[in-house]
Chain A
């Protein structure tokens, strides 16, 4: 079974600074998807960024970028120019490739609570 590990229960960053959240995963698959989700206090799950394992290029979305190291099974999230609105719980998630309903399920890490200090 696939597992996702986030080793940082909590992180803090100063506003306008850069922070990196760590994520490692374990899988025997060669193709899969990885995601970072943000859950603010409202508890709405918001997709931050996604990465297809077969793509070597790291995904970027404005101030958010990932460092995807497939061999090391590492998928870290970098937030640049941190803003107060970035404060939230961040979850790393894995999804295997393939058709069939159950294949679309996400396996989540335990999350990292990010605090942004003004």
Chain B
């Protein structure tokens, strides 16, 4: 089945630094990728939708200058948390799908646990 690889699985960074999270579709072309954030024991909150070759669409309340999303190819989207602060510590999950697929998106990455110290 389709696989979405997310890397790294966990990362610790110092406050003020930036960290990049990658989401790759390994065996299919992902025209659309979604980035979610999940706090402990809470649901997944959509941060943004990225379409290959175009700018990402951010959900209300999500700072686009802080959470930079790039979807430069059909197999790779990246989320960069810039000038990270402790309140950015969370679990980030990507999801990928192919436009036109009836049940897209179905494929999630394994998530990235970000800890900002």
Q: Which residues between 49 and 79 of chain B lie within 8 Å of chain A, taking CB atoms?
A: 49-51, 57
Q: Which residues between 63 and 117 of chain B lie within 8 Å of chain A, taking CB atoms?
A: 91, 93, 95, 97, 99-100, 103-106, 108, 110-111
Nearest Cβ in chain A — how far from B60, in angstroms?
10
Confirm or deny: B19 has a beta carbon within 8 angstroms of a beta carbon on chain A. Answer: no
- Chain B residue nearest to A45 (CB atoms) is B108
Residues on the A chain within 8 Å of B31, using CB: 101
Give the docked Cα–Cα distance between A102 and B91 (Å): 22
Interface residue tally for chain A (C-beta within 8 Å): 21
Nearest Cβ in chain A — how far from B18, in angstroms?
23
Given contacts A101-B49, A102-B49, A50 and B103 within 8 Å (CB-CB) = yes
Confirm or deny: A56 has a beta carbon within 8 angstroms of a beta carbon on chain B. Answer: no
B100 and A99: CB pair below 8 A? yes
Confirm or deny: B46 has a beta carbon within 8 angstroms of a beta carbon on chain A. Answer: yes
B43 and A44: CB pair below 8 A? no
Residues on the B chain within 8 Å of A105, using CB: 34, 46, 49
A residues in contact (CB < 8 Å) with B: 33, 42-45, 47, 50, 91, 99-102, 104-111, 113
B residues in contact (CB < 8 Å) with A: 31-32, 34, 38, 41-44, 46, 49-51, 57, 91, 93, 95, 97, 99-100, 103-106, 108, 110-111
**The 6 nearest A-B residue pairs measured at CB:** A45-B108, A101-B32, A101-B51, A110-B43, A108-B43, A102-B49
In the assembled complex, 5 residue pairs joining A and B whose CB atoms fall closer than 8 Å, in A order, are A44-B111, A91-B44, A102-B49, A106-B44, A107-B46
